[in-house]
Amino acid sequence: MAIKKETKYIFVVGGVISGVGKGVTASSLGLILKNRGLNVTAIKIDPYINVDAGTMNPTEHGEVFVLSDGDETDQDMGNYERFMDLNLTRINYMTTGRVYKTVIEKERNLEYKGKCVEVVPHIPLEVIGRIKKAGEMAKADVVIVEVGGTIGEYQNILFLEAARMLKMESPKDVIFVMVSYLPTPGKIGEMKTKPTQYAVRTLNASGIQPDFLIARGESNLDEKRKEKLSIFCSMPCERVISAPDVDSIYDIPINFEKEKLSDKLCDILGVACKKPDAKLWNAWKNFAKYSHNGKEVVKIGVVGKYFDSGDYMLSDSYLSVIEAIKYSAYSQGRKPIISWLNSVDYEKHPEKLKELKKFDGIVVPGGFGSRGVEGNLKVVKFVRENKIPYFGLCYGMQMMVIEYARNVLGLKDAHTREVSPSSKHLVIDIMESQKEILKNNLYGGSMRLGNYDAVLRDGTIARNSYGKKEIVERHRHRYEVNPSFIGDLEQAGLVFSGRSPDGHLMEICELPKNKHPFFLGTQFHPEFLAHPLRPHPLFTAFIKACIPKKK
C-alpha cells in the first residue's frame, strides 16, 4: 500500500524511565499542530499481550478509557481526545495481542496465500497497515503514533521495527520524537545527560535516529546540556526541547510553543502550516491559567478502591473522573481539592463517615466486584441523609439504587447480582444480553460498551443540566437496574430521569432538588466526554451544587 503523499507520521518513543510523559507529549504535539491548521489523529500502541485494556486491573494499568465505538483502551487515549478534541475509534489503538490475533486469523483464512507467515515482516506489516488505515480514515495530515514502553525493553521491538520500515518506505514523511528523562541526583545537584545518551544509542541500534529530543527533568535544560545532547545524540541544538516538571499538564503545549516546536516540526516534515489559530490558542491558554488560580476551592471526596498499589496511591485509576471534575470546577472559578477516600475503610470504621461532612461533594466512580461495596453503601446513606451533594458514576449509581431500596423501601437484603446472587431483592441484576456471555466465560470486550442514546425526563436535574432531551453517552457495564423494582423505587421518591429510547434501561436516577441539593447517578460514564474547553454538563451541575454549601 503506497503512502498517501500528504500524510506525515510522528512516532513518539520514551527513554530511560517509564511514565516519562509520552502520552501527554504526544497529545501536546497534536494540539500545537492542530493549532497550526493541520488535521491530526493519534494512535497508541500498547505492548501487552492483552487484546485490549478491558481485562486489566486499574491498579496495574490505570484507567480503562472507553471509546465511542466501545473499544476499551489505555488512559492515554483519553488525553488524546481531550487535548486534540478527537473522537477516536478502535483503529487508533493496538496491542501486541490485537496485532497477533489479526495476523493469526488472516493466516487461518488463507489471506497470506500459502506463504510462511513470520514474526518479521508480517507483524510489522500488520502494524504499518493499521497506522496507515487510521490516517486514511481521519484524512489526517499528521498521524501521531505513541509507542508504549521504554527504549531497550524487549516488548516494543516489533513496533519500532514497523516504524523503521515505514521510514524506509517514505523517509521524508516519518519522524521520531524521543521523550527522555534527565535525572538530577540529590547529592550531585546537576542534571545528568548520560542515561539519555545511552537511550538514544539503544534506539540507534534499532536503526532509528530521533529527530527531536524532549528532555524531561526537574528544570529547563541550560545551553551547556543542550549542546552536549546535540553532539552525543546527533541532532541540532534547536531540536533538543526542554520539558521541565509542571504543576498542570495543560501548560505543556504552551511550554512547547515557547520553544517554537510547531514551527520546527512543520519545517522538518515539510508541511505548510497556517498561523496559530488565535481562538483555539487563547481558549487553551485561558483554561490552563485557571489551574493556577487557587483562591476559592471546592473540596471533593472520591470514594473508590483502586488506590492502593503497594505504598503508592494510584489516582491514575480514575484519571478521566479527576479531569472532568477539574474542567467543571475551573469553569465555575474554583480550584478543586480532590481527596481519595478508600471505601473499604468505612466498612471497618463507620465512625469515619462523619468526616464526609468536611467535603463539599462526594463522587463514587465506577467499579467491579464486592470489595468495598458495603463501605460505599454506608457512604451513600450518609450523604443522602446529610444532604451532601453526591454524584454516582456507573457502580456509583447502582449503589444509590441499592441503598435507596434498603433504607427507604425497606428491602433489607437489596443487592446486585454481581455481589450477592442469592439475595431475594436483586434491584441491580444482570442484563439479559449478558447471561449467555458470562455462562461461556467470554469476558473480553463483551460488556455493554461505548455510545448508547438516552432520553431525559422533563423537569429533572438531568434534563435541565444538559439543556436537551436526547443525549449520547459512553457505557461500560454488565448489570442494570432491575425493571421489576422501578415502580416501587419511583413511588418511594427516586426519579429515573434518563432511560434508553425504548424505555427499558435506566440511565440516570436522581432525587428532586426539594429533597436533596444533588443526589444523582448515571449508568454511563460522563467523565469520558468531559473536555477542557467543554466541561461536562452533569459534572458542572454537581460542582454548582457543591458551591453554595461553602460560605
Nearest Cα neighbor of 64 from 84, 83, 44 is 44
Among the options 394, 403, 415, 418, which is catalytic? Answer: 394
Q: Interaction with ligand GLN in 384-423: which residues (CB under 6 A)?
A: 394-395, 398, 418
Nearest Cα neighbor of 195 from 14, 10, 47 is 14
Q: Interaction with ligand GLN in 326-385: which residues (CB under 6 A)?
A: 366-368
Query: Are 449 and 439 in contact, with CB atoms under 8 Å apart?
Result: no
Cell of 173: 514523511
Q: Interaction with ligand GLN in 418-457: which residues (CB under 6 A)?
A: 418
Q: Is 525 a catalytic residue?
A: yes
Pick 148 or 392: Cβ nearer ligand GLN? 392
Query: Are 287 and 533 in contact, with CB atoms under 8 Å apart?
Result: yes
Residues 6+ positions from 32 with CB-CB distance below 8 Å: 253, 256, 257, 261, 262, 265
> CB of 314: closest distance to ligand GLN in angstroms?
17
Q: Is 136 a catalytic residue?
A: no
Instruction: Out of 476, 499, 516, 544, name the contact with ligand GLN by CB under 6 A.
Output: 476
Instruction: Out of 9, 479, 485, 519, name the contact with ligand GLN by CB under 6 A.
Output: 479
Give start and end residues of each alpha helix (H) in 151-214: 157-169, 194-205
> CB of 305: closest distance to ligand GLN in angstroms?
11
Among the options 61, 475, 516, 525, which is catalytic? Answer: 525
Number of other residues whose CB lies within 10 A of the CB of residue 82: 24
From the list 105-113, 158-166, 458-466, 475-483, the region that binds ligand GLN by CB under 6 A is: 475-483
Q: How far is CA 328 from CA 145, 335, 351, 536, 543, in A?
A: 30, 10, 31, 7, 7
Size (the chain), residues: 551
> CB of 394: closest distance to ligand GLN in angstroms?
3
Q: Interaction with ligand GLN in 273-292: which residues (CB under 6 A)?
A: none
Query: Using CA atoms, how far apart are residues 412 and 392, in angstroms rounded to an integer?
Result: 21
Instruction: Out of 226, 378, 477, 544, name the contact with ligand GLN by CB under 6 A.
Output: 477
The reply to whether 516 sits near ligand GLN by the rule CB under 6 A is: no
From the list 239-247, 344-352, 476-484, 492-500, the region that binds ligand GLN by CB under 6 A is: 476-484
Pick 66 or 233: Cβ nearer ligand GLN? 66
Cell of 339: 481527596
Instruction: Out of 478, 499, 516, 544, name the contact with ligand GLN by CB under 6 A.
Output: 478
- What number of chain residues touch ligand GLN (CB under 6 A)? 11
Pick 234 or 484: Cβ nearer ligand GLN? 484
Q: How far is CA 58 from CA 230, 344, 366, in A?
A: 39, 17, 11
Nearest Cα neighbor of 395 from 413, 412, 420, 372 is 372
> CB of 398: closest distance to ligand GLN in angstroms?
6
Positions touching ligand GLN (CB under 6 A) are: 366-368, 394-395, 398, 418, 476-479
Kindly list the catalytic residues: 394, 525, 527
